[in-house]
Structure 1
């Protein structure tokens, strides 16, 4: 299994965005990454800065780590494409209906649910609870 370092993940997003802007050929995964960056104009300037790989984003300073945010988006993209964990696609569809077919808003519901699930797994020292994750997304689609 591929397990990239923090810097490799960051460089992947930076390079995908650079190739997109310069109209170079992108791999399928780079194309997905560039589209995710495109959907987040608030990150464009950061990803175009050469020292972005080195930058720290402290939650206690109220900063959101854009690389983590984009990585979670990428993970969710993959989850939806293969319906893994099972039921995530139908749970997402509920969020999509709730948000009037605003795909990005619905994806952010999944992103928040995934973040909460990851946090809980880290806090408890237990594996990620995929069933709880899908149920969290289902509940979000019903509100």
Structure 2
């Protein structure tokens, strides 16, 4: 399984942004990342910053900061899950949520909440990730 370091993940996004602006060809993964990056203009200044500055930055929730790289990684995780329907049922649950909201971006953000909650419960309680609870959470958001 691919498990990049924090810096590798950040450089992936920064290099994708740079390649995009230099009109260089993008890999399939970079193209997917770019689709989500361009939907977040609030992060453009970060993408345009010097890599050394970005790598040194510690995005703190306590300081009211959003971590653009965590956020985009969540988009990629959900996109991957939906594309391969893993856990089983996520594709259908996400489709229902998209239909209800008529906005796949907003739907993805609501899926993040469910995914984050399951990860939190897993870590807090030392239990296995519950795919069932995750899917049920997404379905609750969709009104099912």
Same fold (TM over 0.5): yes
Higher mean C-alpha deviation, range 118-127 or range 37-46:
118-127
List gaps (5 residues or longer) in structure 1: none
Whole-angstrom distance in 2 between the partners of 1:118 and 1:43: 25
Contact 1:17 1:33 in 2 (8 A): no
The alignment yields a C-alpha RMSD, in angstroms, of 1.2
Whole-angstrom distance in 2 between the partners of 1:65 and 1:13: 13
Whole-angstrom distance in 1 between the partners of 2:113 and 2:42: 18
Whole-angstrom distance in 1 between the partners of 2:34 and 2:55: 16
Whole-angstrom distance in 2 between the partners of 1:106 and 1:68: 17
What is the match of residue 33 of structure 2? 33
Counterpart mapping for 1:9-48 below 5 A: 9-48=9-48
SS of 1:4's partner is coil
What is the match of residue 114 of structure 1? 115
What is the Cα deviation at residue 62 of structure 1?
1.5
Deviations 1:49-99 (A, max 9, x none): 111122101111121211111001000010010111000011111211211
Count of aligned positions: 142
TM-score normalised by L of structure 1: 0.94
List gaps (5 residues or longer) in structure 2: none
Whole-angstrom distance in 2 between the partners of 1:119 and 1:22: 39
TM-score normalised by L of structure 2: 0.94
